A = this chain, B = another copy of it.
Amino acid sequence: MGIKERKETEKSEMKELILKTAMKLFLDKGFNNITIRNIAEKIEYSPATIYLYFKNKDEILYTLRGEGFEKLYEWQKTSLNTNDPLKRLLKHGEAYISFALENPEYYDLMFMMRGPVKNIKETNFCDIGLKSYELLKNNVKECMTQGLFPRMDVDIVAFSLWSYVHGIASLIIRSRGIIFPEEQVNDMIKGSLDFMLKVNYDKNWDTYNKSMNQKPELNI
């Protein structure tokens, strides 16, 4: 059945093309500012064709969101090869933020955009998203068993840390960190993470101050 196979791969290739094109456009102008006709024009098909591959515009979003969660999970796993749990946590946070900043439209779809009203359960957020959350939780647990963290409720601490990196990422994505010049965003992220972990848990503020390779002069 060679033909049937070919048709199937063609179908999924077309789906992929639509998704890729849509994502590119969303990245540029945002989900709400891109029309089905825009996408259709870009891939040189009629608007109606898109509806042969996706039920509606929202389904494109949901699919991309799912892809995003997969990507994020992979991205975060790079932090696992670090042994020290505190350093691993730092790496984890950096990975999370760098994912957000290098894939802002994905991140937007996943965590910032007011989704088309639908119960979240039916999206695959819970399935894959929770895997990432478990990664974080395990890390937090280990920090606690090693006495690096207070023995608080694990979920609270995990949620705290998540909030922290999400806050940083989303403020920057929405240009609320605009008070800082572009080229110092990286320093600020590093500084923020240090503030949370290194500084608070090492408590060697003086040596820390000296070891900081540079203290950016910020002009508000």
Contact = CB atoms under 8 A, between A and B. Distances in A.
- A159, A162, A188 interface centre (most CB from chain B within 10 Å): A159
B174 A114 contact: yes
Contacts of A150: 195, 199, 205, 208-209
Interface string A13-46: 0000000000000000110110000000000000
Contact of A195 (B113, B120, B156, B216): B156
B113 A192 contact: no
A176 interface: yes
Contacts of A159: 168, 171, 177, 180, 188, 192
A130 B29 CA distance: 27
A176 B33 CA distance: 25
B218 A155 contact: yes
Nearest to A155: B218
A82 interface: no
Interface string A153-182: 101110110111111101100111111100
A68 B119 CA distance: 28
A188 B161 CA distance: 12
